């Protein structure tokens, strides 16, 4: 009986271990670049956002090239988490500056993290909507609410087992409450704005003697 031949196995495992370390390190960089892109978008800085989106895409594509030969990593929760954060930032960029959402082929990402990242987009759309409310851009604020609601409804149509898209059901449960509370806030503010406009109009009419 021949002894175990571990040379090739050891080489494969060593490469796997090195790639996992690279994934962890690159994940931190992609997280930083994703936050940078989100910040540029929320500030509505098109030139800065465009540059940040390109830099983020390059970093993510480099990581995919490094990780994809190792299915153990490419389909792991660790990689899904990194890819979902990338998708979340890119989708916000697409929504604000391209007037649509990107598809998995454009973003070059596996369907599972694509779905997870697109679900997380709802939270970023709420942040943007609230920023628009503060600056008095009510119609734009409502527009992003409607987009978030559409994203939620479309993703809710996906009915797959938990291992296929891990964490999707939990995310959607959280965002159902987010959207409900968000709607109540927008309706309340809309009512206040309409009341204020009606009061100002009445004051003008009274001042002109039309009433």
Domain membership flag for residue 15:
yes
Domain membership flag for residue 81:
yes
Per residue in 52-100, pLDDT tens?
999 999 999 999 999 999 999 999 999 999 999 999 999 999 999 999 9
Say what the pLDDT of residue 12 is: 87
Predicted model pTM: 0.87
pLDDT above 70 (res 199): no
Torsion angle, alpha carbons of 103, 156, 122, 63, to 10: -40
What gap in Å lies between CA 102 and CA 189, rounded to an integer?
31
Say what the pLDDT of residue 189 is: 82
Domain membership flag for residue 1:
no
Say what the pLDDT of residue 8 is: 78
Range from 2-11, 19-28, 56-65, 91-100 carrying the lowest mean pLDDT: 2-11
Domain membership flag for residue 191:
yes
Domain membership flag for residue 199:
yes
| CATH code of residue 120 | 1.20.58.2140
**Is the distance from CB of 17 to CB of 71 less than 8 angstroms?**
no
Domain extent, residue 170, equals 9-208
pLDDT above 80 (res 45): yes
Per residue in 110-141, pLDDT tens?
999 999 999 999 999 999 999 998 888 888 99
In eight-state DSSP terms, residue 158 is -
DSSP string computed for 1-47: -PPP--HHHHHHHHHHHHHHHHHHHHHHHHHHHHHHHHHHHHTT-HH
How many domains, in total, are found in the chain? 1
Domain membership flag for residue 2:
no
206 pLDDT band, cuts 50/70/90, is low
Say what the pLDDT of residue 205 is: 57
Per residue in 144-182, pLDDT tens?
999 999 999 999 999 888 888 999 999 999 999 999 999
Domain membership flag for residue 28:
yes
Domain membership flag for residue 176:
yes
């Amino acid at each position: 009986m021949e002894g175990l031949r571990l040379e090739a196995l050891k080489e494969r495992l060593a490469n796997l271990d090195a790639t996992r370390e690279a994934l962890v390190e690159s994940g931190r960089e992609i997280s930083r670049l994703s936050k940078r892109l989100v910040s540029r978008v929320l500030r509505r800085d098109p030139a800065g956002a465009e540059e940040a989106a390109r830099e983020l895409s390059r970093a993510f594509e480099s990581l995919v090239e490094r990780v994809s030969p190792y299915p153990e990593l490419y389909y792991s929760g660790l990689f899904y988490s990194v890819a979902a954060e990338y998708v979340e930032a890119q989708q916000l960029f697409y929504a604000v500056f391209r007037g649509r959402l990107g598809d998995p082929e454009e973003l070059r990402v596996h369907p599972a993290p694509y779905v997870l990242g697109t679900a997380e987009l709802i939270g970023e759309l709420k942040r943007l909507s609230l920023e628009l409310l503060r600056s008095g851009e009510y119609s734009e604020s409502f527009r992003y609410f409607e987009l978030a609601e559409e994203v939620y409804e479309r993703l809710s149509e996906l009915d797959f087992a938990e291992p296929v898209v891990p964490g999707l059901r939990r995310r959607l449960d959280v965002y159902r409450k987010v959207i409900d509370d968000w709607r109540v806030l927008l309706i309340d503010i809309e009512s206040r704005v309409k009341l204020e406009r009606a009061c100002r109009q009445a004051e003008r009419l009274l001042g002109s003697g039309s009433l």
